[in-house]
Amino acid sequence: MTHQAAIALGQTLRVLAVDSDESAAQVTPDVVLGSHTDIDALRRAAAGAQVLTFDHEHVPTELLEKLQAEGVNVAPPPQALIHAQDKLVMRRRLEALGAPVPRFAAVDDVDDLDDFARRVDAPLVLKTIRGGYDGRGVILTTDLPEAREAARRYLADGVPVLVEERVAMRRELTALVARSPFGQGAAWPVVETVQRDGICVEVLAPAPGLPDEVGAAAQELALRLAGELGVVGLLAVELFETAEGGLMVNELAMRPHNSGHWTMNGAVTSQFEQHLRAVLDYPLGDTSAIAPVTVMANVLGAPQTPAMSMDERLHHLFGRIPDARVHLYGKQERPGRKLGHVNVVGSDLAVVRERAGRAAHWLAHAQWTDGWDGHAD
Ligand code: ADP
């Protein structure tokens, strides 16, 4: 998706991929095969490039610092990226910057949990400090013994964890912004992200019913954090809207983010183009929504891959929902895997949401959620 945006800007992307069938490698002729944990592969990918950037956060900081020292323009720089890689570093920095975060503590020993539980008087969440993704590495526990047991297992495996209070929330929001090295910032409307089992299934843009001042506060917070942390490119600030209507920061991501896929069809400038503009230090694009409502629904692999081919599923989908904007990632179907997403743009939230959800479910399952049969008449 970043490459699509690069084409329009007359830029070319070289991709570092482990396999030639990875999504990003499928759409560019310039692929360096190798691991993002191998400095030589990273050097080959960066050679002669104007800028090195990311579609995930797992490149080790030490390697990026080495590249930087060798003169590579790394964006976002590793000094910023660390806050999207290490949840403990992030929590400590945000707390120091006065950003609202759940109460948290490092866990060096299982007994640390007892002290923390006494202090917060709330259910506990255990998180691996590094390597989490789509809810993997997050355990929402119901009582202290369960939290202790989970921590014991992680620590026995040598996996560093932190504990935090389980936040009583209304819903989850994301404030997505971009920042250029020049210092320009741009914020899209704040969205609601609907999660199931730790995975984002749907994004509603803008977040329905969000008071203007709360939306503006979330945008300002995200822009301020982007500046304080020295982000270059995109910054997604994942937020909890608390039961009382306040905001708390859950996580940071510094790359095009699932919560921003709606911008491909629902905003003047997509997150992918904006990320490129930011890392290339171009003036940033207009982030306005082009319609009252956009809903993005993820196409999540069905428990059983349908017998009907994806090609045929697309035929049916476009026959029934011609305004569905489909973005597939070229991935093999697997249960629960993010295979793509569908955007629907419109003016009535209930209608748009139903169309997007129905389209995404159809693409994954080859079943209409309302039992419709395209061959019936
Ligand atoms: P990942 O790094 O895997 O994306 P997150 O930290 O975003 O993990 O957590 C995944 C999901 O777990 C969140 O979207 C949220 O639904 C839930 N969650 C995480 N932390 C808390 C918390 N402190 N209180 C309540 N729910 C939480």
| 6 and 43 fall within a common domain | yes
Cα(279)–Cα(266) distance, rounded to whole angstroms? 22
User: Is residue 301 in a domain?
Assistant: yes
Give yes or no: residues 59 and 174 share one domain: no
Ligand 1: centre distance to CA 176 (Å): 17
pLDDT block averages, 10 residues each, the chain of length 377: 97 96 94 97 97 95 97 98 97 98 95 92 92 77 91 92 95 98 96 93 98 97 98 98 96 97 98 98 98 98 97 97 97 96 98 98 96 77
SS3 label, residue 174: strand
**Cα–Cα nearest to 362, from 327, 319, 316:** 316
Question: What is the phi/psi pair of residue 119, to 5°?
Answer: -70, -40
Do the domain assignments include residue 174?
yes
149 and 179 in a single domain? The answer is: no
The pLDDT value recorded for residue 71 is: 97
- Domain assignment of residue 316, yes or no: yes
Identify whether residues 9 and 29 lie together within a single domain.
yes
Please give the Cα distance from 168 to 197 (Å, whole number): 16
Q: How many whole angstroms separate alpha carbon 84 and alpha carbon 225?
A: 12
The confidence score (pLDDT) of residue 133 equals 62
Quick one: pLDDT at residue 377?
A: 58
How do 31-33 and 15-17 pair as beta strands? parallel
Distance, CA of 158 to CA of 155 (rounded, Å):
5
Judgement on whether residues 159 and 194 belong to the same structural domain of the protein:
no
- Mark which of 131, 146, 165 sits at the end of a domain: 165
What pLDDT score was predicted for residue 371? 87
Q: Is 33 inside a domain boundary?
A: yes
Residue 269 lies in a domain: yes
Distance 109 CA to ligand 1 centre (A): 22
Query: Do residue 14 and residue 149 come from a single domain?
Result: no
Q: Which residues are near ligand 1 (CB < 6 Å)?
A: 102, 125, 127, 132-138, 140, 164, 166-167, 172, 195, 198, 238, 250-251
Whether 228 and 322 share a structural domain: yes
> Helix 78-85 to helix 61-69 angle, to the nearest 10 degrees?
170
Number of domains in the chain: 3
Q: Are 281 and 319 within one domain?
A: yes
- The pLDDT value recorded for residue 311 is 97
Judge if 212 and 268 occupy the same domain. yes
Residues 117 and 176 in one domain: no
- Any idea what the CATH number is for the domain that residue 252 is in? 3.30.470.20
Pocket test for ligand 1, best of 194, 240, 250 (most atoms within 8 A of CB): 250
**321 Rama sector, left if φ>0, alpha if ψ -120 to 50, beta otherwise:** beta
pLDDT at 134 (0 to 100) = 62
Domain boundary among 28, 53, 84: 84
CA of 254 to the centre of ligand 1 (A): 17
pTM of the entire predicted model: 0.96
Where among 33, 50, 84 does a domain terminate? 84
- Does residue 158 sit in the same domain as residue 173? no
CA–CA distance from 79 to each of 47, 63, 75, 230 (Å)?
21, 12, 10, 8
Q: Which amino acid is at 374?
A: G
Question: What is the residue range of 157's domain?
Answer: 103-165
